[in-house]
Structure 1
């Protein structure tokens, strides 16, 4: 190979490398955009599931547990920390109880851990409820039998959907855990 041929080869490789770099940047941009869109869809689907669950959960909380206040999408910030609760319900009467509802489209173990974390931090964020019994409800569109058993073992109520209506899915002898 002559010097001129070698120079031409190197020059063509430089051009090809620049084109490859440009294509990689474009691919990265598209991947980032796709990730952003997928994240947006996941958030919208989560909001959709919460909206689907709310009417049924309101009825359960008011009729079965005699709750006076039912608040969807509660977000609090305190001391640089944040807490998000899908549905917060309480009664100030002689019941003196609080129900924290976490809604999932497809329950995974992380969802159970998330509700445990919310329950552990609840009194820090809501000192006004310090003297109340606090109970957790995990409502899911899709919940395997194995995960349902884990939910119940943690002392949480399990709720499932059937015919577009959520209902509690607990055995007759179930005793919820007060946090």
Structure 2
């Protein structure tokens, strides 16, 4: 290799190094810009997290106050049927002495809540209230609710036990399923209760 060739090689290496240094400087500047943008994004995310936490707290407070729409509708239905039956405690031509609401009992590891119980000296009506009645409510009534009632309320073992489902909304086929199972159906009709005996 001649001196000129060596000089040309060194010069080309220097030019390449200058280009590389310039590219590295450009890359460093781009990385610094990206880091600044990431820092800005992180700050915005932190603000968003704080706002979401505030919103969640407000939503939780509202849910506690109002119990959710589904719970409110169910409570409205329960209150309607309780007040109506308290005012006129007759179902299927049977007069009852008293009515109980939201009765919960626990025994031997079994716990169950019953929306309404109507009782006289020989009959007890178990009334479960649903805003919108579904087939699973029929299964639950005939299965778990009835079986647990017999275990949890032995004082009614010699009583005639009657079952009723009370609702504001029910499809015709579900209504027929209720009646086919021998369960009384209570429906709201204006400000009155319509009783459909099984």
Q: TM-score, normalised by structure 2?
A: 0.71
| Cα distance change of structure 1 residues 163 and 34 upon mapping to structure 2, 3 Å threshold | same
Partner of 2:81: 53
Counterparts of 1:93-132 in structure 2, within 5 Å, are 96-116=122-142, 117-132=144-159
Q: Larger helix proportion, structure 1 or 2? A: 2
Paired with 2:84 and 2:44, the residues of 1 have a C-alpha distance of 56
Partner of 2:184: 157
Greater C-alpha radius of gyration? 2
- Highest relative contact order (Cα 8 Å, sep 6+), 1 or 2? 1
- Kept in 2, the 8 Å contact 1:159–1:169? The answer is yes
- Kept in 1, the 8 Å contact 2:90–2:96? The answer is yes
Q: TM-score, normalised by structure 1?
A: 0.77
Aligned residues: 168
- Give unmatched runs, 5+ long, in structure 1: 175-179
- Kept in 1, the 8 Å contact 2:103–2:116? The answer is yes
| Cα distance change of structure 1 residues 63 and 169 upon mapping to structure 2, 3 Å threshold | closer
RMSD value over aligned CA atoms?
2.7
Paired with 1:103 and 1:120, the residues of 2 have a C-alpha distance of 18
Paired with 2:151 and 2:54, the residues of 1 have a C-alpha distance of 41
Counterparts of 1:1-179 in structure 2, within 5 Å, are 1-20=26-45, 22-24=47-49, 26-27=51-52, 30=55, 33-34=58-59, 37=63, 39-58=67-86, 59-61=88-90, 64-92=93-121, 96-116=122-142, 117-170=144-197, 174=198
| Cα distance change of structure 1 residues 63 and 150 upon mapping to structure 2, 3 Å threshold | closer
